[in-house]
């Protein structure tokens, strides 16, 4: 996060730090081929943040820790693909989360990750002056326990890194949403697991 005294300073990137954490748990077979990005975004109907697309290069759709489900626009895996058809399937008739509008409603919030049923991570989608849809680069948290939407002020690489390592710790209201044990390894689970289709086996 940029220093508050220098709000125009470039933010610190956590991409390399996050990649170093995750790469040991991801095999070559897990990695998803990056098809044409423009085609992916055209299908989704929205321009995705660069930091999210960069994380998707080394973090395929799957599970982090015990139950953090990460979706990718390049995934073909069950429950972890991020496509317009998938979002329509999930939210087509139910386009609000505790009164918060969800994409494909615009303006709305595009959910790309979740922890069981309590927390969902989302990008706010708005229309540009030319009529195109675009995601804000900062992540929002939808918390079902407290029925609240909150902006984290963080891009996804920093948020994930801090969730996993708790370095630096979450502060103020974010600490109410994301607890220190949220991404702890439980039952000796690896940090990353691919979610396979039933016919692929476990």
Q: What is the CATH number of the domain that holds 85?
A: 3.40.1580.10
Residue 99 in domain? yes
Residue 167 in domain? yes
Supply the pLDDT for residue 117: 64
Residue 6 in domain? no
Supply the pLDDT for residue 53: 93
Residue 198 in domain? no
- Give me the tens of pLDDT residue by residue for the chain, a chain 202 residues long: 444 544 555 778 999 999 999 999 999 888 888 777 888 899 999 999 999 999 999 999 999 887 889 999 988 877 899 998 888 888 777 666 677 888 988 999 999 998 866 788 999 999 999 999 999 999 999 887 766 789 999 999 999 999 889 898 888 888 888 877 777 665 577 889 887 654 454 4
Q: CB under 8 Å to 29, separation ≥6 — which residues?
A: none
Residue 202 in domain? no
Supply the pLDDT for residue 39: 87
3-state secondary structure of 165: helix
Supply the pLDDT for residue 201: 46
Supply the pLDDT for residue 195: 74
Q: Is the peptide bond before 107 cis (omega within 30 degrees of 0)?
A: yes
Residue 161 in domain? yes
Supply the pLDDT for residue 177: 80
Supply the pLDDT for residue 70: 95
93 lies in which domain range? 15-183
The dihedral through the CA atoms of 127, 130, 134, 137 has a sign that is negative
Residue 49 in domain? yes
CA-CA distance, 179 to 191, in Å (whole number)?
A: 17
Q: Distances in Å between the alpha carbon of 143 and those of 43, 61, 114, 146? A: 28, 22, 10, 6
Residue 31 in domain? yes
The dihedral through the CA atoms of 186, 192, 193, 195 has a sign that is positive
Supply the pLDDT for residue 2: 45
Supply the pLDDT for residue 146: 67
Domain count, the chain: 1
């Amino acid at each position: 996060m940029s220093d508050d005294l220098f709000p125009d300073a470039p933010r610190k990137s956590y991409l390399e730090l996050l990649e170093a954490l995750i790469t040991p748990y991801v095999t070559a077979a897990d990695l998803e081929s990056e098809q044409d990005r423009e085609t992916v975004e055209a299908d989704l109907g929205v321009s995705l943040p660069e930091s999210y697309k960069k994380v998707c290069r080394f973090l395929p759709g799957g599970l982090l820790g015990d139950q953090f489900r990460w979706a990718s626009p390049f995934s073909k895996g069950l429950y972890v693909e991020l496509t317009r058809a998938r979002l329509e399937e999930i939210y087509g008739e139910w386009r609000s989360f505790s009164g918060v509008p969800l994409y494909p409603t615009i303006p709305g919030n595009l959910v790309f990750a979740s922890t069981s049923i309590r927390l969902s991570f989302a990008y706010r989608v708005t229309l540009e002056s030319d009529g195109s849809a675009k995601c804000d680069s900062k992540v929002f948290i939808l918390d079902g326990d407290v029925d609240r939407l909150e902006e984290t002020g963080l891009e996804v690489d920093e948020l994930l890194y801090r969730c996993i390592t708790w370095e630096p710790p979450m502060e103020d209201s974010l600490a109410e949403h994301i607890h220190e044990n949220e991404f702890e390894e439980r039952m000796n689970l690896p940090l990353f697991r691919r979610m396979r289709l039933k016919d692929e086996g476990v």
